Amino acid sequence: MQPNIVRNYAFLLFCVLIALLVQGLAPYWPLAFDRAAISDGQWWRLLSGGWLHHNAAHLWMNLAALCLLWTFLIPPLGGGLCWLLLSLLVALVDAAIWLWVPQTIHYWGLSGALHGLFAIAACLQWLTQKRQAVLWLAGLGGKLLWDLWHPDGMTADWIGTRVHVESHLLGSGLGVILGIVLTLYLSRHSVSTDVNATKG
């Protein structure tokens, strides 16, 4: 196995270990998203709350989705940047919920950040397969509409709490913004590299 492949998947393992560690420490440390506690100054809950899950089914379902997304994000970004983006999305989604979804008192899960990662992966498809990028974004839009119309279906039964549709919407929006920025940067960087290579 090539060293860069090992390194890329080592970052995935690191993400999984963070989620498992937070889940294990949550009964003993103040890590969960709690609006009152955050308002009282426990701001670190915005960094840790999204890694915490409501039950084991919730945890493993999101970790499985993360592993699947990782395979699409590694080619254009690499494992290190994937980890940074996931951590950033966890914090941004939690902060957005705290700021703009006042009715949410407690929140669990990576699903908002995972929707953001999927949106980033979809935008990055524009670099090589524009039609696929459009299909992925359309699929994401369809999934969000389904969440809005059926928020308390089978998934809610599995995870033991309601599906937090607001986090999915926020994560997707943040992911599209980050995805567009990354796509523009990579596109311009690729053009610059090609021009320099031609001059050389």
So where are the chain's domains?
3-194
Q: What is the model's pLDDT at position 155?
A: 79
Tens-digit pLDDT profile for residues 34-82: 999 999 999 999 999 999 999 999 999 999 999 999 988 888 888 999 9
pLDDT at 156 (0 to 100): 80
The token pair at 72 is 């699409």
Residue 3: predicted pLDDT: 61
Q: By percentage, how much of the chain surpasses pLDDT 90?
A: 77
Question: What average pLDDT does the structure give for the chain?
Answer: 90
Give the model's confidence band at 198: pLDDT under 50 very low, under 70 low, under 90 confident, else very high.
very low
Do 53 and 23 contact (CB within 8 A), yes or no? yes
Percent of the chain with pLDDT over 70: 92
DSSP secondary structure letters along 55-88: SHHHHHHHHHHHHHHHHHHHHHH-HHHHHHHHHH
- Kindly report the pTM of this predicted structure: 0.91
Q: Does domain 3-194 have CATH number 1.20.1540.10?
A: yes
Q: What is the mean pLDDT of residues 86-110?
A: 97
